[in-house]
Chain A
Amino acid sequence: MTGLGPKIAAARAVGTVARVAGRGGGTSLPGKVLMRLEPHAIRDLARRLPQGSIAISATNGKTTSAAMVAAVLERRGTRLVHNRAGANMAGGIASTLLGAARGSGIAGELGLFEIDEFWLGQLTDELEPQALLLGNLFRDQLDRYGELETIADRWAEIVAARGERTQLVLNADDPLIADLGRTQPRVTYFGVEDDTMAMPEMQHASDSKHCRRCGHAYAYDAVYMGHLGRYRCPNCGQRRPQPDVVAEHVELLGTRGARFQLRVTGGPQAGTATVELPLPGLYNVYNALGAAALCLALGVPLAEVVAGLEHVAAAFGRAETIDLGDRSLSILLIKNPAGANEVLRTVALESGEIDLLAVLNDNIADGRDVSWVWDADFEILAGRVRRVTCAGTRAAELALRLKYAGVDAARIAVVPDLRAALDVARDDGDGTLYAMPTYTALLALRDLLSSRGLAPEYWR
C-alpha cells in the first residue's frame, strides 16, 4: 500500500478544482483520478474498514434500500462509509472511500455501497462484501445494459465466485434473483405473502416469465409487480423458495406510506412486528423487506430494524415532497417500465383527479432509447388526469404516449423547457403536483428548485 497517501492527495486536489470550477458535489471525478493512479484503490481503502462492507444491487430500489439500511444502522451508532448520493459505479465508490480516508485509516466502521448492475462483478472483487443484497432485475436501458438474461448470467458467476465468503440476501419473489441462491451456502430470502396485493393479470412489461432452468412458462399463484410474485415451473418443478423474512397484511396508504406485518421465521430473531413505513407503494415495501433481511442477517434485532425503517426519509427524488409555497411538489423518479408502473400505481391510489409534470429526457444517463415509455402502463392514468404538462428533450413523445394511453389530448400540454413547464404546471391548479422525471430531468429539477431557494438543505 506504499504510496497511496500522495495519490489520495492528488485525487482530492482534482476534486477541489472541480468544485471551484462549479462542477457541483457528488462528482465521481476524484475517484476516477484515484483509480487511474492506483487501480486497486477501492480494495486498499475498503480493507481499512474494520467491519468490512455490505453491497446492494438491483435494477430498481438500490438508493432507497441503501437509505433504509443506513437508517437502521446509524440509529444503532454504526459509522458508515456510504455512497449516499447514488454515484454507484467505480468512480463514485472510489470517491466515497476517498472522502472518508484519514491518513492511513478511514473515518467509518462499515462500508455501505449501492452498486450499478453492470459494475457488480468488478466492484465485488474489490470490495469483498461480507453481505450482498440483490433486489430485482427488470428490463432497463437496453442500449446500455443489454439483455436481462445476460446480466442474470453474469450475476450468477459473481455470486458463485463469492461462495462462502458472502452472505447473500435475495428476493424470493423475483425468479431471476432467487435462482442465484439455489446452490449457494449462505442465503437469506425475503418475499411478500399477501393475496390482496396480487394483480388480476400480469403487467405488459413483465420480463422473466420463463423458467431459468428449463425455459417453460412459469405458473403464478400471485403476481405482485412485474414478474415478481409466487411462481412455480409446471415443467421442471422449480419453485419460489420459502422466504425467511416476509411482508404480510400490506396496506398501501396512498402516496404517504405503507403499513405491513414483518414476519421473521426461524433463528434467534424470529418474531413479527408491524412496520409503519413512511414511503409509499408496494415497491417500497420490497425495498424495506430487502433492507430488513440484510440488517437481520447482520445480527440487528428485529425491534431495531423496525425502528430504523419507520424513520427513513425519502431518498433524493424518490417520493420526496417539496413545499412550493402555494402547493406541494411530490417528486417520483421514473426510469424504466417496471419502476414507472409502480410509481403510476402509487399515484393512482390518490383520490380525485391528478396534476402531473412528466419529464422525459434521452440523455446517456436516462438511456438514449425512449421506447420504454411504450412498455410502461400509462393507461393507469386514463380518466384520472386533470392536467399533465410534458417536458424534457422528448416531451412530445411522452405526450403522444399519454394520448394513446387514453388521456384526453385536451388535458395534455407540451412544454419542452423544464423551467417554463414547472411554471405552467404550478400555476394551473392547487393541491399536490406530482412530478415524474427521468434521471437527468430529476437532476435538472433539483438545480432549478435550488436556484429558486426551494430545495431542502441536503441537496446543496
Chain B
Amino acid sequence: MAETLRVCALYPDLMNIYADRGNLLLLQRRCAWRGIGFELTASGLGEPLDGDGADLFYIGGGQDRDQRLCAFDLAEVKREGLHAAAERGAAVLAVCGGYQLLGRSYELGDETLPGVGLVDLHTVRSDAPRLIGNIAIEVNLGERAGGVRVLAGFENHGGRTHLGPAAQPLGRVLKGHGNNGEDGFEGIRQRNVIGTYMHGPLLPKNAWLADWLIATALGRDAPLPPLDDAFEAAAHVEARRAAGA
C-alpha cells in the first residue's frame, strides 16, 4: 500500500489557537499505523494554493487580528485554489475561526471580513456573551461513516453563523450552542467540505471522523481497517459526558 495522504494546513502559524495541531496529529498517526504515507505541507500568507497539491485542506482558529489577516489572504490569494480543490472532491476541514471564513462574509461591527465563498453561510459578531462550553451534536455522514453518530467537543465563539436556505448543517445540537445558539444546528457540510465550531480538538475526541476524512480524501469506498481505539473511545465518552450528552 504505497498510498499517501497529502494534507495542507492553511496558516498553521496564525490559525492554531485551540490546539489545532491535535487534529493534524490524529490524521498523521492514524495513517502511519495503517501503513498509509502522510505528507504535511503548509500554506501561509501570500502563498497561492495549489488545489491539486493536497487531498485534505485544514484551517484552524485564530486570534481576531490573525483571523483578519487570513480572511483577506484567503479571499484574494487562495480563493481559486481552494475552490478547485473542493470541486474535484478534496476534503476540507475548517474549524472555528477558519469555519467563519468559509462562507460569504463575517461582519464585525464596523468592519466586514470577506469569506472565501466555498459554502453558503454568513457570520455576524454578536455583542451578546460568547458561546462557550462543551458541545455534542448528532451527525449522519452516510453509511461509510456508520450512519448516525455523535461528535463531541468544545466551542468558544463570539460570532453567530447563519446558513443559506440550501445549505446543509453538519449536525443537530444535542447539548451546547452550535452555529448561533438559536436554530439548533451546528456546522456545515457540503459534499467533502466540513466546517464546524467544534474544537477541543475535534478529531482526538472523535477518531471516527478522522478516519472518515482520511478515507474520503483518499477516495476510498470501503472503511479503513480498524485500530485499537480503547483510549480514543474512552476520550469520546468523557467528552460526551462533559457536554451532558
A contact residues vs B (CB 8 Å cutoff): 139, 142-143, 147-149, 204, 209-210, 215, 217, 362, 368-375, 393-397, 399-401, 403-404, 409, 412, 414
Contact = CB atoms under 8 A, between A and B. Distances in A.
A259 to B, nearest CB: 35
B103 interface: no
Nearest to A403: B231
A399 B242 contact: no
B132 A143 contact: yes
Contact of A397 (B21, B69, B238): B238
A370 B29 contact: no
A414 B19 contact: no
A412 B17 contact: no
A149 B134 CA distance: 24
Contacts of B64: 147, 149
B235 A396 contact: yes
B69 A404 contact: no
Contacts, number: 88
Contacts of B242: 362, 368, 393-394
A159 B239 CA distance: 40
Given A147-B63, A149-B65, A375-B19, A400 B154 contact: no
Contacts of A217: 13
Interface in B1-34: 13, 17-19, 21-22, 25-26, 29
Contact of B204 (A362, A400, A414): A400
Given A215-B65, A215-B69, A409 B132 contact: no
B154 A399 contact: no
B156 A142 contact: yes
B205 interface: yes
- Going nearest first, the 9 A-B pairs with the smallest beta carbon separation are A374-B22, A396-B234, A374-B19, A371-B19, A396-B235, A375-B19, A400-B231, A400-B235, A147-B63
Contact of B29 (A142, A372, A375, A404): A404
Interface in B34-71: 63-66, 69
Contact of B26 (A142, A370, A399, A404): A404
Interface in B209-244: 228, 231-232, 234-235, 237-239, 242
B204 A404 contact: yes
Contacts of B78: none
A204 B199 CA distance: 17
9 contacts: A142-B17, A142-B18, A372-B19, A374-B22, A375-B21, A396-B237, A397-B239, A400-B231, A404-B25
B115 interface: no
Contacts of B69: 215
B171 interface: no
Interface of B: 13, 17-19, 21-22, 25-26, 29, 63-66, 69, 132-134, 154, 156, 199-201, 204-205, 228, 231-232, 234-235, 237-239, 242
Contacts of A370: 154, 200
A374 B202 CA distance: 11
Given A142-B17, A399-B235, 17 more contacts: A143-B132, A148-B63, A149-B65, A217-B13, A368-B134, A369-B156, A373-B19, A375-B19, A375-B21, A396-B237, A397-B235, A397-B239, A399-B231, A399-B234, A404-B29, A412-B231, A414-B231
Contacts of B204: 374, 397, 400-401, 404
A280 to B, nearest CB: 26
B18 A371 contact: yes
A452 B25 CA distance: 41
A153 to B, nearest CB: 10
A374 B19 CA distance: 5
A139 B16 CA distance: 11
A412 B29 CA distance: 17
A409 B228 contact: yes
Contacts of A400: 204, 231-232, 234-235
Contacts of A369: 18, 154, 156, 200
Nearest to A379: B25
Contacts of A375: 19, 21-22
A374 B231 contact: no
Contacts of B22: 371, 374-375, 401, 404
A208 to B, nearest CB: 10
A404 B132 CA distance: 27
B156 A374 contact: no
A215 B133 CA distance: 31
A441 B194 CA distance: 36
Nearest to B238: A396
Q: Which of B17, B29, B238 has the most chain A CB atoms closer than 10 A to its own CB?
A: B238
Given A374-B22, A374-B25, A397-B238, A368 B232 contact: no
Contacts of A371: 18-19, 22, 154, 199-201
B63 to A, nearest CB: 5
Contact of A374 (B21, B66, B234): B21
Given A371-B22, A396-B237, A209 B154 contact: no
Contacts of B21: 204, 374-375
Contacts of B134: 368
Given A369-B154, A409-B231, A149 B19 contact: no
Nearest to A367: B154
A368 B239 CA distance: 11
A414 B234 contact: yes
Given A149-B64, A368-B154, A374 B201 contact: yes
Q: Which of B17, B26, B63, B65 has the most chain A CB atoms closer than 10 A to its own CB?
A: B63
Contacts of B132: 143, 368
A149 B66 CA distance: 10
Nearest to A139: B17
A142 B17 CA distance: 9
B93 to A, nearest CB: 15
A257 to B, nearest CB: 32
Contacts of B13: 209, 217
A389 to B, nearest CB: 14
A215 B66 CA distance: 9
A397 B18 CA distance: 15
Nearest to B237: A396
Contacts of B234: 396, 399-400, 414
Contact of A394 (B25, B133, B228, B238): B238
B168 to A, nearest CB: 26
